[in-house]
Copies of this chain bind each other. A is one copy, B any other.
Amino acid sequence: MATIAANTSANAAETVRAHIRHGRHTTVTTGLAPGILQANLVILPADWADEFGAFCAANPKPCPLMAQSEAGDPTLPALGHDIDVRTDLPRYRIFHDGVQTSEETSISALWRDDLVAFALGCSYSFEAALLDAGVPIRHIEQGKKVCTYRTGIDTVPAGRLHGKMVVSMRNFTTPNAIRAIEITSRFPSVHGAPIHFGDPSAIGIVDIDKPEFGGEPDIRPGETPLFWACGVTPQSVIEAVKPPFCITHKAGHMLITDRLNEEFRAS
């Protein structure tokens, strides 16, 4: 995929998407189609859609809503001309009554006329901006997944939806922590500035060395952990609320759009 990754045009995004659609790429999308917006995915039955839209509006930092489909329509034309959410992500999680029942590389066989797809902004966009500014990101340097944690912070409820916020963590020297806050605050629609830095217990993280996803973090003396609201939050909500049916992306296995990260930089 190196050749594809070097090309930042929407054309490259389309090519990567086609690879994924045809099952030729089934792992994480980290680093694919640099400069291109990637998105988190949540699919719910129509009778949950209004509440989920309201939940996103009430929780814009973990759930920055980029696009929402019509019921039964698997396309998201606002994000890409040929997107089909049934096939265009490398890996999906299937939930029944809040419990993951399987993991799939396509959901075509599971699609229904009453399903509504939601695409949410993703931290890959601000990670690209950090790297462009020369702010190093340890887990990327080490080829690892980002560490994410379930916090004790309650999201703002909407209808039947409620649950704890999930955060992603990146650690920096103090000057780079300041730069990271500056830079990510320019991307309010892809999680924006961190919600916390420093003491993990202040947001209910008991052991920073034990993330829910990702390996053990490598935080060195003098470095500070920064915590960003994470687009995996809806998966924690689904587990708490137990709707009869739900499909999400698997963490790190994102929807690649035709949109540019730079479109989402605030003026």
Contact = CB atoms under 8 A, between A and B. Distances in A.
Taking each of A181, A194, A198, A224, which has the highest tally of chain B beta carbons within 10 Å of its own beta carbon?
Answer: A181
A202 interface: yes
Contacts of A185: 181-182, 185
A183 to B, nearest CB: 9
Contact of A202 (B174, B181, B196): B174
B181 A196 contact: no
Interface residues of A, number: 18
Q: Copies per complex?
A: 2
Interface in A181-231: 181-182, 185, 193-198, 202, 222, 224
A267 interface: yes
- Secondary structure at the A interface, as helix, strand, loop or mixed, is mixed
A6 B53 CA distance: 43
A1 interface: no
A178 interface: yes
A250 to B, nearest CB: 30
A177 interface: yes
18 contacts: A174-B197, A174-B202, A175-B195, A175-B196, A177-B197, A178-B181, A178-B193, A178-B194, A178-B197, A179-B193, A181-B182, A181-B185, A182-B182, A182-B193, A185-B185, A198-B224, A202-B222, A267-B267
A195 B181 CA distance: 12
Contacts of A174: 196-198, 202
Contacts of A194: 178
Contacts of A177: 197
A181 B197 CA distance: 12
A198 to B, nearest CB: 6
Contacts of A182: 181-182, 185, 193
Contacts of A198: 174, 198, 224
A205 to B, nearest CB: 13
A143 B182 CA distance: 29
Interface string A95-116: 0000000000000000000000
A24 to B, nearest CB: 41
Contacts of A181: 178, 181-182, 185, 193
Nearest to A180: B181
